[in-house]
Structure 1
Amino acid sequence: MPKKNRSRSGSLGFKPKVRAERIYPDIDNWEETDELKPLGFAGYKVGMSRVMMIDDTEGATQGQEVAEAVTILEAPPLRVYGARFYTQDVNTGKNVFTEAWTESPAPELQRAVDVPKEGNMENLEKAKENSDKITDVRLLVHTQPGQAGLSKKTAENFEVGIGGDVEDQLEYAEEMIGKQIEFDQVFEEGEYSDVVAVTKGKGMEGPVQRYGIKKLGHKTQKKRRKAGNVGPWHPDTLSWKVPLPGQQGFNNRTEVNKRILAHGEDPEDVQRDGGFNGYGEVQSNYIIIKGSVPGPSERLIRLRTAMREDGKPGTPEITYIDQ
């Protein structure tokens, strides 16, 4: 009888469950677009609320006022402190060619990374001279938590992709180093985005809580909250599919096509009496996203231009924001 061949079942996006390396994620893949602009933004999760809006989606309630659960992010502008230039090798893949940093970096950035105060902008000229070797350019940015309602003094730093071809990316990077990225430079209200974040950490959990398996009957084995059979004696190896106890939560997760309902610069539009539970008061720009996003309050949430965008529904009409 011929051997049956089929692809492995199960998504490696969720199994094996791997603890995130740091409290905010990296993004490796960006949208391929000819539009010359930054392809990502970030904000701190404030909490959830509710809005009333006119339903502009197809369905029974289209054109009517409906209530929607939303997540509020506090999103001060991102500061660009440098650029990173990549080359492509057929054997080793993508490699860093060089980096260019601005001079006089912000104090909150110096707490997070060792950036020389005099900068090294001469590397930008080196990259432009070798533009034929450069295959990708990304901005190096950091957050500004001092402008948000947080007590932390250390900034998060990460890469942000750029649209357009390499020549345009080089010119855009030179123009943006030392400046700020505003929300309006990346997204529009009503647009879809991909939300990338680290989920809540729950520590050590058993297989019932971790995978949702059924508890064993009281006549089956001495233990009930375990997998009934974890594998054969020969070969004496465990499959990666076996539900076992271990770390639960604190995973990098991406949720695609989350709609951005609103953005504003007046925090009083979304302010709650006494502040938000676990966060406090919003003090700078805010973003309202339809539905929930991963992670607890105060965690950095990264937004990426949608890679699998499902149309453009247009600008939403919000009639009321719960406060």
Structure 2
Amino acid sequence: MSGIIGKKIGMTSVFDENGKNIPVTIVEAGPCAVTQVKTEDTDGYNALQLAYDDQSEKNVSSAMLGHFKKAKTAPKRKVIEFRDFDGDYKVGDEVKVDLFEEGEFIDVIGTSKGKGFQGVMKRHGFGGVGDRTHGQGDQERAPGSIGAASDPSRVFKGVKMAGRTGGSRVKTQNLKVVKVLTEKNMILITGSVPGPNGSYVIVEK
């Protein structure tokens, strides 16, 4: 599966050929350096290792520094493997945003925004007592019953309760590529791209 590493920049909007205003997310995608080509013979599986976003040598371990020097590229912050990558690439090549075409559908993987410890109303969309969403006069935002009594004498796993919200790996599928800005290494995507601005994302075909 082909893909590229990118960074979520923010949102804007563009007009299509019919004059309709479309909200889009800007993703700076690549160029990504090919730092390793894994094959069935040498590694047991086929994969292409890509690296993105330059960083200082002092922040890289000696092992990774040697790895990047072997690939003849600057040290990178993000290294990701893509299984069964389409196309013939070798170490030192670059994967650029022209991998994608306008109008095609893609998947985007990222880490969702962390929201800390949240109650059941924010975390799971509970309606509250009598659908009243504010105030604590009678515990109106409380979760209510979470299980049976003497039998089974426990709370089953998976019950919707308060807890840590967000900050987890999310894959949003079938987002549309509205525009590819090759000279700026950017893709304009319509749909929900996970994560805050400035976070890394993986864009897959």
TM-score using structure 2 length: 0.77
What is the CA–CA distance in structure 2 between the aligned matches of 1:49 and 1:99, rounded to whole Å? 37
Measured against aligned partners, the alpha-carbon deviations of 1:60-116 in whole angstroms (never above 9, x if no partner) come to xxxx321111111122300111133458xxxxxxxx54999x9xxx97386456326
Q: Which amino acid aligns with 2:12?
A: S
Q: 1:117 aligns with which of 35, 59, 66?
A: 66
Partner of 2:3: 40
Partner of 2:167: 250
Partner of 2:129: 216
Q: Which amino acid aligns with 2:122?
A: Q
1:177 aligns with 2:91: yes
The SS at the match of 1:237 is coil
The SS at the match of 1:209 is helix
| Mapping 1:134-283, distance limit 5 Å | 155-163=77-85, 172=88, 175-184=89-98, 186-216=99-129, 223-233=139-149, 234-266=151-183
Contact 2:40/2:46 (8 A) holds in 1: no
State the Cα distance separating 1:188 from its structure 2 match: 1.5
- Structure 1's 292 and 99: CA in aligned 2 closer, same or farther, altered over 3 A? closer
Contact 1:82/1:99 (8 A) holds in 2: no
Please state which structure has a larger fraction of its residues in strand: 2
- Structure 1's 237 and 289: CA in aligned 2 closer, same or farther, altered over 3 A? same
TM-score using structure 1 length: 0.51
Partner of 1:312: none
What is the CA–CA distance in structure 2 between the aligned matches of 1:76 and 1:120, rounded to whole Å? 19
Q: 1:77 aligns with which of 12, 15, 31?
A: 31
| Mapping 1:272-311, distance limit 5 Å | 284-305=184-205
State the Cα distance separating 1:206 from its structure 2 match: 0.6
The SS at the match of 2:14 is strand
What is the CA–CA distance in structure 1 between the aligned matches of 2:45 and 2:158, rounded to whole Å? 41
- For structure 1, the 5+ residue unaligned runs are 1-29, 31-38, 55-63, 88-95, 122-139, 145-152, 267-283, 306-323
Aligned identity (percent) is: 26
- Structure 1's 99 and 255: CA in aligned 2 closer, same or farther, altered over 3 A? closer
State the Cα distance separating 1:231 from its structure 2 match: 0.4
Measured against aligned partners, the alpha-carbon deviations of 1:120-153 in whole angstroms (never above 9, x if no partner) come to 98xxxxxxxxxxxxxxxxxx9x9x8xxxxxxxx8
